């Protein structure tokens, strides 16, 4: 049965949306936003122009995800490695751009019933940035729709280190390390993403085939979708195309497919 197109969708978005199975939408999508620098270089512009253009991609992607009912969306915005691998002028620009985004988008986030939170070592960010982050999060805290998570000063390896530190500290308060119990659930409960379902789908733009130290624990069984589109050119339509590809996959979690051998038989035959 055809479903109603949400208000505000562009024609290309609605065309893809009508092909989706609303009952099989991913519950959590994670996106590695990549390609800002290449986008700018191809246009003979400074790298910061690519970052500035990427804001429109964030807005379109976030609004589309909320519009179709995705419960959680996580965007990889700034890694710990960015401090070391990017010039200070570029990092400073990114921090100012983040502050402007947080101020400008509160009305849009509230209008779409979106909550905002963050993961990463926030305490290492400039105090002015931390203040803007806290204000934006507080301003959207009453919303009940999609949870938008920005990964800022984030490293998956640091997250796992911090999780084990938290486990050890909890054990020390409960009689010592001899009382520490470590299993998968305990580790998950001490990650930055505790309370969030693991992503079903991770999207990487710009054609790169790596996870870049992003949600390494949580993406253990996620479907990976890579698009050649550079992040500033990514829009809601491209998000829906990623979801469409996701719905063609047979998620086996290490087991067998529905026919006992592998992917859905009809999907495998369609590829022949």
**Residue numbers annotated as active site:** 34, 82
| pLDDT for the residue 180 | 79
Widest Cα–Cα separation across the chain:
61
**In this predicted structure, what is the pLDDT of residue 138?**
98
Question: What's the per-residue H, E or C state across 113-130?
Answer: CCEEEEECCHHHCCHHHH
How high is the pLDDT of residue 1? 45
- Cα 81 to its chain centre, rounded Å, is 17
Predicted pLDDT of residue 84: 83
pLDDT at 79: 95
| E-state strands within the chain | 28-32, 72-79, 115-119, 147-154, 201-204, 223-226
- The whole-number pLDDT of residue 254 equals 65
| Cα dihedral across residues 73, 92, 205, 190: positive or negative | negative
The alpha carbon of 62 is separated from its chain's Cα centroid by a whole number of angstroms, namely 10
Estimate to the nearest angstrom the gap between the alpha carbon of 177 and the chain centroid: 34
Residue 263, pLDDT score:
43
| Residue 107 three-state SS | helix
Extract the tokens encoding 52.
């500035």
**What does the DSSP assignment read for the chain?**
---PPPTT--HHHHHHHTTS-GGG--SEEEEE---HHHHHHHTT--HHHHHHHHHHHHHHHHHHHHHHT-SEEEEEEEETTHHHHS-HHHHHHHHHHHHHHHHHHHHHHHHTT-EEEEES-GGGS-HHHHHHHHHHHHHTTT--S-EEEEEEEE-HHHHHHHHHHHHHHHHHTTT-GGG----HHHHHTTSTTTTSPPPSEEEE-TT----TTSSTTTTTT-EEEE-SS-GGG--HHHHHHHHHHHTTS---TTS--TTSSSS-HHHHHHH-
Task: Tell me the domains of the chain and their CATH numbers.
Answer: 24-154+198-252 (3.40.1180.10), 155-196 (no CATH)
Six token digits for residue 235 = 């829009």
Identify the residue whose tokens are 């119990």. 181
pLDDT in tens, the chain (272 residues): 456 888 888 889 999 999 999 999 999 999 999 999 999 999 999 999 999 999 999 999 999 999 999 999 999 999 999 988 899 999 999 999 999 999 999 999 999 999 999 999 999 999 999 999 999 999 999 999 999 999 999 999 999 999 999 999 988 887 777 777 889 999 999 999 999 999 999 999 999 999 999 999 999 999 999 999 999 999 999 999 999 999 999 876 666 565 554 444 344 333 33
Give pLDDT, residue 8.
Answer: 81
The model's pTM is: 0.90
């Amino acid at each position: 049965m055809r479903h109603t197109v949400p208000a505000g969708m562009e024609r290309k978005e609605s065309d893809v949306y009508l092909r989706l199975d609303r009952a099989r939408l991913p519950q959590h999508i994670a996106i590695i936003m990549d390609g800002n620098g290449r986008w700018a270089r191809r246009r003979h512009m400074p790298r910061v122009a690519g970052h500035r253009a990427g804001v429109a991609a964030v807005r379109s992607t976030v609004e589309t995800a909320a519009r179709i009912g995705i419960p959680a969306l996580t965007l990889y915005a700034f890694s710990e490695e960015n401090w070391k691998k990017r010039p200070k002028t570029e990092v400073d620009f990114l921090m100012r751009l983040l502050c402007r985004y947080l101020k400008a988008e509160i009305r849009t986030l509230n209008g779409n019933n979106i909550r905002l939170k963050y993961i990463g070592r926030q305490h290492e960010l400039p105090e002015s940035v931390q203040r803007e982050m806290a204000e934006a999060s507080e301003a959207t805290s009453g919303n009940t729709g999609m949870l938008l998570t920005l990964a800022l000063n984030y490293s998956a390896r640091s997250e796992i280190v911090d999780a084990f530190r938290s486990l050890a500290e909890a054990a020390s308060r409960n009689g010592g390390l001899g009382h520490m119990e470590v299993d998968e659930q305990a580790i998950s409960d001490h990650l930055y993403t505790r309370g969030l379902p693991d992503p079903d789908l991770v999207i990487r733009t710009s054609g790169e085939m790596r996870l870049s130290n992003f949600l390494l624990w949580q993406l253990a069984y996620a479907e990976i979708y890579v698009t050649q589109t550079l992040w500033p050119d990514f829009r809601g339509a491209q998000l829906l195309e990623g979801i469409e590809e996701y719905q063609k996959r047979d998620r086996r979690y290490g087991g067998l497919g529905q026919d006992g051998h592998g992917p859905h038989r009809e999907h495998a035959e369609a590829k022949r």
